[in-house]
Protein backbone atom coordinates (compact mmCIF):
# COMPACT_ATOMS: atom_id res chain seq x y z
CA UNK A 1 0.00 0.00 0.00
CA UNK A 2 2.03 2.93 -1.26
CA UNK A 3 -0.71 5.48 -1.87
CA UNK A 4 -1.00 8.17 0.83
CA UNK A 5 -3.81 10.63 0.44
CA UNK A 6 -2.01 13.23 2.60
CA UNK A 7 0.02 14.24 -0.51
CA UNK A 8 -3.12 15.00 -2.49
CA UNK A 9 -5.75 16.15 0.03
CA UNK A 10 -7.64 19.22 -1.11
CA UNK A 11 -6.45 18.98 -4.72
CA UNK A 12 -8.80 19.60 -7.66
CA UNK A 13 -9.92 15.97 -7.69
CA UNK A 14 -10.82 16.05 -3.98
CA UNK A 15 -12.74 19.31 -4.55
CA UNK A 16 -14.76 17.75 -7.36
CA UNK A 17 -15.51 14.53 -5.47
CA UNK A 18 -16.33 16.30 -2.21
CA UNK A 19 -18.45 19.09 -3.72
CA UNK A 20 -20.68 16.45 -5.36
CA UNK A 21 -20.64 14.29 -2.21
CA UNK A 22 -21.89 17.23 -0.13
CA UNK A 23 -24.69 17.80 -2.66
CA UNK A 24 -25.67 14.10 -2.50
CA UNK A 25 -25.74 14.18 1.32
CA UNK A 26 -28.00 17.23 1.32
CA UNK A 27 -30.31 15.33 -1.01
CA UNK A 28 -30.45 12.40 1.45
CA UNK A 29 -31.32 14.84 4.25
CA UNK A 30 -34.47 15.93 2.43
CA UNK A 31 -36.35 12.97 3.96
CA UNK A 32 -36.62 12.35 7.73
CA UNK A 33 -35.98 8.60 7.45
CA UNK A 34 -32.50 7.60 8.71
CA UNK A 35 -29.71 6.91 6.25
CA UNK A 36 -26.32 5.14 6.42
CA UNK A 37 -23.16 6.08 4.53
CA UNK A 38 -20.49 3.45 3.81
CA UNK A 39 -17.09 4.91 2.89
CA UNK A 40 -15.10 1.92 1.58
CA UNK A 41 -11.74 3.70 1.19
CA UNK A 42 -12.04 6.35 3.85
CA UNK A 43 -8.51 7.70 4.36
CA UNK A 44 -7.57 9.36 7.67
CA UNK A 45 -10.53 11.72 7.85
CA UNK A 46 -8.68 15.01 8.02
CA UNK A 47 -5.40 16.36 6.64
CA UNK A 48 -3.00 18.97 8.02
CA UNK A 49 -2.24 21.22 5.04
CA UNK A 50 0.98 22.49 6.65
CA UNK A 51 2.33 18.92 7.02
CA UNK A 52 5.40 17.97 4.92
CA UNK A 53 3.30 15.72 2.65
CA UNK A 54 0.90 18.51 1.67
CA UNK A 55 3.74 21.03 1.42
CA UNK A 56 5.78 18.70 -0.80
CA UNK A 57 3.22 18.62 -3.60
CA UNK A 58 1.36 21.86 -2.84
CA UNK A 59 -1.58 20.39 -4.77
CA UNK A 60 -4.17 21.82 -2.37
CA UNK A 61 -3.17 25.37 -3.35
CA UNK A 62 -4.55 24.80 -6.86
CA UNK A 63 -7.62 23.12 -5.36
CA UNK A 64 -9.32 24.12 -2.13
CA UNK A 65 -6.83 26.99 -1.80
CA UNK A 66 -8.36 28.62 -4.87
CA UNK A 67 -11.96 27.89 -3.87
CA UNK A 68 -11.45 29.47 -0.46
CA UNK A 69 -10.34 32.62 -2.26
CA UNK A 70 -13.71 32.98 -3.97
CA UNK A 71 -15.84 35.65 -2.38
CA UNK A 72 -19.21 34.33 -3.57
CA UNK A 73 -21.32 33.10 -0.67
CA UNK A 74 -24.02 31.98 -3.08
CA UNK A 75 -23.64 29.72 -6.06
CA UNK A 76 -23.30 26.00 -6.68
CA UNK A 77 -20.17 25.46 -4.56
CA UNK A 78 -21.24 27.56 -1.56
CA UNK A 79 -22.35 24.65 0.70
CA UNK A 80 -19.17 22.67 0.09
CA UNK A 81 -16.77 25.59 0.51
CA UNK A 82 -18.54 26.81 3.68
CA UNK A 83 -18.38 23.30 5.15
CA UNK A 84 -14.65 22.91 4.49
CA UNK A 85 -14.08 26.30 6.11
CA UNK A 86 -16.20 25.33 9.13
CA UNK A 87 -14.12 22.13 9.42
CA UNK A 88 -10.79 23.94 9.49
CA UNK A 89 -9.70 24.87 5.95
CA UNK A 90 -7.22 26.18 4.99
CA UNK A 91 -5.26 24.94 8.03
CA UNK A 92 -6.83 21.50 7.77
CA UNK A 93 -8.71 19.82 4.95
CA UNK A 94 -11.66 17.52 5.77
CA UNK A 95 -11.66 14.15 4.06
CA UNK A 96 -14.83 12.32 3.13
CA UNK A 97 -15.44 10.92 6.68
CA UNK A 98 -15.29 14.41 8.23
CA UNK A 99 -17.59 15.89 5.58
CA UNK A 100 -20.11 13.06 5.94
CA UNK A 101 -20.01 13.18 9.75
CA UNK A 102 -20.74 16.91 9.71
CA UNK A 103 -23.92 16.26 7.71
CA UNK A 104 -25.30 13.33 9.71
CA UNK A 105 -28.43 13.96 11.74
CA UNK A 106 -28.91 12.15 15.07
CA UNK A 107 -30.72 9.28 13.32
CA UNK A 108 -28.00 8.68 10.66
CA UNK A 109 -24.81 6.57 10.66
CA UNK A 110 -21.40 6.49 8.99
CA UNK A 111 -19.36 3.32 8.47
CA UNK A 112 -15.74 3.90 7.45
CA UNK A 113 -13.36 1.29 6.07
CA UNK A 114 -9.63 1.95 5.76
CA UNK A 115 -6.89 -0.64 5.34
CA UNK A 116 -3.70 1.38 5.91
CA UNK A 117 -2.64 0.93 9.56
CA UNK A 118 -1.64 4.57 10.18
CA UNK A 119 -4.62 6.12 8.45
CA UNK A 120 -6.94 3.65 10.11
CA UNK A 121 -5.49 4.50 13.54
CA UNK A 122 -5.95 8.24 12.93
CA UNK A 123 -9.51 7.72 11.77
CA UNK A 124 -10.39 5.41 14.68
CA UNK A 125 -8.95 7.95 17.15
CA UNK A 126 -10.95 10.75 15.57
CA UNK A 127 -14.27 8.93 15.99
CA UNK A 128 -13.59 7.06 19.25
CA UNK A 129 -16.70 7.27 21.41
CA UNK A 130 -18.88 8.53 18.54
CA UNK A 131 -21.91 6.27 18.56
CA UNK A 132 -22.93 7.29 15.05
CA UNK A 133 -19.62 6.30 13.43
CA UNK A 134 -18.01 2.86 13.05
CA UNK A 135 -14.43 2.53 11.80
CA UNK A 136 -13.20 -0.79 10.39
CA UNK A 137 -9.71 -1.88 9.40
CA UNK A 138 -10.47 -4.25 6.57
CA UNK A 139 -10.46 -4.50 2.81
CA UNK A 140 -12.96 -2.07 1.28
CA UNK A 141 -13.93 -4.49 -1.50
CA UNK A 142 -14.67 -7.27 0.98
CA UNK A 143 -16.56 -4.80 3.22
CA UNK A 144 -18.99 -4.09 0.39
CA UNK A 145 -20.36 -7.62 0.69
CA UNK A 146 -20.16 -7.80 4.47
CA UNK A 147 -21.76 -4.45 5.28
CA UNK A 148 -24.49 -4.01 2.68
CA UNK A 149 -27.37 -3.57 2.55
CA UNK A 150 -27.50 -1.47 5.74
CA UNK A 151 -30.54 -2.03 7.97
CA UNK A 152 -31.71 1.52 7.19
CA UNK A 153 -32.19 0.45 3.54
CA UNK A 154 -31.40 4.05 2.59
CA UNK A 155 -28.11 5.77 2.10
CA UNK A 156 -24.96 6.12 0.07
CA UNK A 157 -21.85 4.07 -0.66
CA UNK A 158 -18.72 6.03 -1.56
CA UNK A 159 -16.00 4.05 -3.33
CA UNK A 160 -12.75 5.95 -3.65
CA UNK A 161 -9.91 3.45 -4.23
CA UNK A 162 -6.33 4.64 -4.75
CA UNK A 163 -5.94 3.19 -8.27
CA UNK A 164 -2.49 1.85 -7.44
CA UNK A 165 -3.21 -1.67 -8.67
CA UNK A 166 -3.90 -3.04 -12.12
CA UNK A 167 -7.52 -3.79 -12.85
CA UNK A 168 -9.08 -1.17 -10.57
CA UNK A 169 -11.64 -0.15 -13.22
CA UNK A 170 -12.69 -3.82 -13.59
CA UNK A 171 -13.09 -4.17 -9.83
CA UNK A 172 -15.19 -1.03 -9.74
CA UNK A 173 -17.47 -2.26 -12.52
CA UNK A 174 -17.95 -5.56 -10.65
CA UNK A 175 -18.59 -3.74 -7.36
CA UNK A 176 -21.16 -1.46 -8.98
CA UNK A 177 -23.05 -4.46 -10.39
CA UNK A 178 -22.90 -6.20 -6.99
CA UNK A 179 -24.18 -3.15 -5.11
CA UNK A 180 -26.98 -2.47 -7.55
CA UNK A 181 -28.19 -6.01 -6.79
CA UNK A 182 -27.66 -5.93 -3.02
CA UNK A 183 -28.64 -2.33 -2.23
CA UNK A 184 -30.84 -1.13 -5.05
CA UNK A 185 -32.26 1.81 -3.09
CA UNK A 186 -28.80 3.10 -2.23
CA UNK A 187 -26.96 5.88 -4.01
CA UNK A 188 -23.47 4.89 -5.22
CA UNK A 189 -20.72 7.42 -5.78
CA UNK A 190 -17.58 6.02 -7.36
CA UNK A 191 -14.50 8.14 -8.00
CA UNK A 192 -12.14 7.40 -10.90
CA UNK A 193 -9.12 9.10 -12.46
CA UNK A 194 -9.05 10.43 -16.01
CA UNK A 195 -5.46 10.19 -17.19
CA UNK A 196 -6.12 8.94 -20.68
CA UNK A 197 -9.50 8.49 -22.38
CA UNK A 198 -9.09 4.82 -23.39
CA UNK A 199 -9.49 3.16 -19.95
CA UNK A 200 -12.41 5.45 -19.10
CA UNK A 201 -14.18 4.59 -22.37
CA UNK A 202 -13.64 0.88 -21.64
CA UNK A 203 -15.05 1.35 -18.11
CA UNK A 204 -18.16 3.10 -19.43
CA UNK A 205 -18.57 0.45 -22.13
CA UNK A 206 -18.32 -2.36 -19.55
CA UNK A 207 -20.98 -0.64 -17.44
CA UNK A 208 -23.23 -0.08 -20.45
CA UNK A 209 -22.95 -3.77 -21.35
CA UNK A 210 -23.62 -4.91 -17.76
CA UNK A 211 -26.82 -5.36 -15.82
CA UNK A 212 -26.62 -2.31 -13.52
CA UNK A 213 -29.18 0.38 -14.41
CA UNK A 214 -29.33 4.12 -13.87
CA UNK A 215 -25.69 5.25 -14.05
CA UNK A 216 -24.53 8.82 -14.62
CA UNK A 217 -20.92 9.94 -15.08
CA UNK A 218 -19.91 13.45 -13.95
CA UNK A 219 -16.47 14.35 -15.28
CA UNK A 220 -14.07 17.27 -15.09
CA UNK A 221 -10.76 17.54 -16.91
CA UNK A 222 -8.17 20.31 -16.74
CA UNK A 223 -6.47 19.44 -20.03
CA UNK A 224 -6.93 17.03 -22.90
CA UNK A 225 -6.46 13.61 -21.26
CA UNK A 226 -3.69 12.35 -23.48
CA UNK A 227 -0.78 11.96 -21.03
CA UNK A 228 -1.34 8.68 -19.11
CA UNK A 229 1.26 9.66 -16.49
CA UNK A 230 -0.72 12.70 -15.24
CA UNK A 231 -4.02 13.09 -13.41
CA UNK A 232 -5.63 15.20 -16.12
CA UNK A 233 -9.14 14.94 -14.75
CA UNK A 234 -11.48 12.78 -12.77
CA UNK A 235 -14.98 11.41 -12.73
CA UNK A 236 -17.67 10.48 -10.26
CA UNK A 237 -19.94 7.68 -11.40
CA UNK A 238 -23.27 8.03 -9.62
CA UNK A 239 -25.91 5.30 -9.52
CA UNK A 240 -29.47 6.00 -8.48
CA UNK A 241 -28.84 9.74 -8.45
CA UNK A 242 -31.36 11.81 -6.47
CA UNK A 243 -33.89 14.11 -8.11
CA UNK A 244 -32.27 17.07 -9.93
CA UNK A 245 -28.70 15.69 -9.75
CA UNK A 246 -28.17 15.92 -13.50
CA UNK A 247 -29.46 19.50 -13.65
CA UNK A 248 -27.50 20.76 -10.64
CA UNK A 249 -24.31 18.84 -11.26
CA UNK A 250 -23.49 20.74 -14.48
CA UNK A 251 -23.34 24.19 -12.85
CA UNK A 252 -21.16 22.75 -10.06
CA UNK A 253 -18.68 21.30 -12.56
CA UNK A 254 -18.69 24.56 -14.53
CA UNK A 255 -17.96 26.54 -11.34
CA UNK A 256 -15.18 24.11 -10.40
CA UNK A 257 -13.59 24.45 -13.82
CA UNK A 258 -13.86 28.25 -13.75
CA UNK A 259 -12.02 28.32 -10.41
CA UNK A 260 -9.58 25.44 -10.82
CA UNK A 261 -8.90 25.44 -14.56
CA UNK A 262 -5.57 26.45 -16.07
CA UNK A 263 -7.03 28.17 -19.15
CA UNK A 264 -6.08 25.13 -21.20
CA UNK A 265 -7.94 24.83 -24.49
CA UNK A 266 -8.42 21.11 -23.85
CA UNK A 267 -10.24 21.52 -20.52
CA UNK A 268 -13.90 20.63 -20.02
CA UNK A 269 -16.62 18.90 -18.08
CA UNK A 270 -19.54 16.63 -18.91
CA UNK A 271 -22.50 14.95 -17.27
CA UNK A 272 -23.36 11.82 -19.23
CA UNK A 273 -25.99 9.19 -18.67
CA UNK A 274 -24.14 5.91 -19.20
CA UNK A 275 -27.08 3.58 -18.53
CA UNK A 276 -30.79 4.43 -18.50
CA UNK A 277 -32.99 3.94 -15.42
User: Would you please indicate which residues are annotated as catalytic (active-site) residues?
Assistant: 160
Considering only residues 6 through 35, tell me which ones interact with ligand SAM, judged by CB under 6 A: 17
Position 195 contacts ligand SAM (CB under 6 A): no
Q: How far is the CB of 193 from ligand SAM (least distance, A)?
A: 10
Say if residues 237 and 179 touch (Cβ distance below 8 Å).
Answer: no
Q: How far is the CB of 95 from ligand SAM (least distance, A)?
A: 3
Position 140 contacts ligand SAM (CB under 6 A): yes
Position 5 contacts ligand SAM (CB under 6 A): yes
CA distance 40 to 179: 12
Say if residues 113 and 136 touch (Cβ distance below 8 Å).
Answer: yes
Say if residues 132 and 110 touch (Cβ distance below 8 Å).
Answer: yes
Pairing type for strands 133-136 and 109-113 reads parallel
Say if residues 176 and 237 touch (Cβ distance below 8 Å).
Answer: yes
**Closest residue by Cα to residue 144 from 107, 174, 117:** 174
Q: Choose, by CB under 6 A, the member of 10, 34, 65, 95 that binds ligand SAM.
A: 95
Radius of gyration of the chain (CA): 17
**Which of these segments, 49-57, 107-115, 149-157, 212-220, binds ligand SAM (CB under 6 A)?**
107-115
Position 90 contacts ligand SAM (CB under 6 A): no
- The DSSP H or E segment spanning 219 is strand 215-221
Position 96 contacts ligand SAM (CB under 6 A): yes
Considering only residues 162 through 191, tell me which ones interact with ligand SAM, judged by CB under 6 A: 162
Position 119 contacts ligand SAM (CB under 6 A): yes
Q: Choose, by CB under 6 A, the member of 59, 114, 173, 257 that binds ligand SAM.
A: 114
The residue (of 178 and 224) whose beta carbon lies closer to ligand SAM is: 178
Q: Choose, by CB under 6 A, the member of 20, 42, 253, 256 that binds ligand SAM.
A: 42
Say if residues 200 and 270 touch (Cβ distance below 8 Å).
Answer: no
The residue (of 121 and 274) whose beta carbon lies closer to ligand SAM is: 121
Q: Choose, by CB under 6 A, the member of 81, 89, 115, 252 that binds ligand SAM.
A: 115
CA distance 60 to 50: 10
Position 113 contacts ligand SAM (CB under 6 A): yes
Say if residues 10 and 239 touch (Cβ distance below 8 Å).
Answer: no
Q: Choose, by CB under 6 A, the member of 109, 116, 180, 204 that binds ligand SAM.
A: 116
Left if phi > 0, otherwise alpha if psi is -120 to 50, otherwise beta: which for 56? alpha
Q: How far is the CB of 172 from ligand SAM (least distance, A)?
A: 12
CA distance 76 to 78: 6
Residue nearest to ligand SAM (CB): 95
CA distance 215 to 91: 36
Position 235 contacts ligand SAM (CB under 6 A): no
Residues near ligand SAM (CB under 6 A) are 1, 3, 5, 17, 39, 41-43, 95-96, 113-116, 119, 139-141, 160, 162
Amino acid sequence: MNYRHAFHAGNFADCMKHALLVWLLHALRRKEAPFAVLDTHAGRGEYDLSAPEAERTGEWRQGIGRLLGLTAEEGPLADYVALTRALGAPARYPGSPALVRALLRPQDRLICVELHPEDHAALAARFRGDRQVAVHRRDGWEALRALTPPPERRGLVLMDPPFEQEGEFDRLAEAIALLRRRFRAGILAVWYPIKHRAPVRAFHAALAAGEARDLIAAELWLREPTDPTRLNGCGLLVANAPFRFTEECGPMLAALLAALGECDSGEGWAVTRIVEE
